[in-house]
Amino acid sequence: MRAPAMSFSSSLSSFQLPVSAKHGEKQPLSAVSPRSQLGCGGATNDHRLKKNGCRCNCDKDGSAGCGGHGLGSILTKEMFEEMLPYRNDARCPAAGFYTYEAFEAAAKSFPAFATTGDDATRKREVAAFFGQTSHETNGARGWNAPGGPYAWGYCFNKQIKPKSDYRDLTNKQFPCFPGQKYYGRGPIQLTWNYNYGQFGAFIGQEKQLLENPDLLLTDATLCFQSALWFWMTPQWVKPSCHDVIVGAWTPSARDKAAGRAPGYGVITNIINGRECGLGRHAAGEDRIGFYKWYCDMFGVDYGDNLDCYNQNNFKK
């Protein structure tokens, strides 16, 4: 299956995209991922890499990833453009922001991303990452979008009309700064002060991001890094999205009792557990639809357990 070409009637040129829906919750992150999985945070800072003992000898030809086959062997620029054909449409608030080069640069900080397992596993991880993030940034909701419902991923880079400021005043480790709102930003719609603080600590900019979370909107590479950091990092009682999709997560007895089994559905539970245990619904179908769309592009099977309709939230 291939994304349609970018052609649509000029009668749509004045159409205004509907307001983006509220995006997923992001739970506090407490577990520290092993360096082998997260890689060298702040990869643009050579001094910090040496200080932290990181040795990322990434591909010299520009393909992302360290060691083995780089991300570029799985996701080419041409494929990236085909997957996100309308992201630069003038009706998208984030038009011109997300680029392949920025994603490629961000991925170099996470060498295990899309380099773990066989080719099918690696392609499936890219499909899952873009399936979830395209849902979070989808510009096709609420209108008859040209190209269909899965052609408008990455239309937004921030949450529109958030219903909350996402300020956890009880968190003293990553305190809220006066006047700042920690609503969703970036491909995975990073929310809450504790997530901005922990991602900031990972890249050596903790205070800066807490003082000004809009920094994510000034640098597409930083924005992609925030999404990949969330994807690669185990959270609280949750595994990382990466471990789930590459088959490295084994459900505990508690997980099994809650109906949580390996598959794309658990990734939805990690990103927005409030959507789980509710039976079939539109948001879940949209996440699955994007994932299948991208899997079809890569020519890989979907795997099992695609939804979380009968799973308990990890909080329960």
Enumerate the active-site residues. Answer: 136
Which tokens hold the place of 65?
């990833």
**pLDDT confidence of residue 26:** 53
CA–CA distance, 111 with 71 (Å, rounded to integer): 9
**pLDDT confidence of residue 18:** 55
**pLDDT confidence of residue 41:** 41
**pLDDT confidence of residue 315:** 87
Q: What top-level class would CATH report for the domain 26-298?
A: mainly alpha
DSSP 235: B
Other Cβ atoms closer than 10 A to 27: 21
CA–CA distance, 247 with 253 (Å, rounded to integer): 17
One-letter amino acid at 158 equals K
Geometric angle at alpha carbon 76, from 113 and 265, rounded to 5°:
45
- Give 3-state DSSP helix, strand, coil % of the chain, rounded to 5: 40, 0, 60
CA–CA distance, 8 with 1 (Å, rounded to integer): 20
Task: Please count the helices (runs of H) and the strands (runs of E) in the chain.
Answer: 12, 0
CA–CA distance, 241 with 273 (Å, rounded to integer): 13
The model carries a pTM of: 0.83
Collapsing DSSP states into helix, strand and coil, what is residue 146? coil
Give me the residues paired with residue 58 across strands. 66
CA–CA distance, 228 with 240 (Å, rounded to integer): 11
**pLDDT confidence of residue 70:** 86
Q: How far is CA 113 from the centre of its chain?
A: 12
CA–CA distance, 308 with 269 (Å, rounded to integer): 6
CA–CA distance, 22 with 163 (Å, rounded to integer): 7
CA–CA distance, 99 with 48 (Å, rounded to integer): 25
CA–CA distance, 276 with 314 (Å, rounded to integer): 9
**pLDDT confidence of residue 4:** 35
**pLDDT digit string (tens) for the chain, length 316 residues:** 433 333 323 333 334 555 444 444 554 443 333 333 454 444 333 323 333 333 333 444 444 444 346 899 999 999 999 999 999 999 999 999 999 999 999 999 999 999 999 999 999 999 999 999 999 999 999 999 999 999 999 999 999 999 999 999 999 999 999 999 999 999 999 999 999 999 999 999 999 999 999 999 999 999 999 999 999 999 889 999 999 999 999 999 999 999 999 999 999 999 999 999 999 999 999 999 999 999 999 999 999 999 999 999 998 7
Closest residue by Cα to residue 267 from 225, 302, 297: 302
Half-sphere exposure of 232 (CA within 13 A, CB side): 29
CA–CA distance, 148 with 195 (Å, rounded to integer): 33
Q: Where are the domains of the chain?
A: 26-298
CA–CA distance, 183 with 181 (Å, rounded to integer): 6
Contact in structure between 223 and 102 (CB atoms under 8 Å): yes
CA–CA distance, 236 with 219 (Å, rounded to integer): 28
**φ/ψ of residue 235, rounded to 5:** -125, 125
Distances (CA, A) of 157 to 20, 100, 203: 10, 15, 20
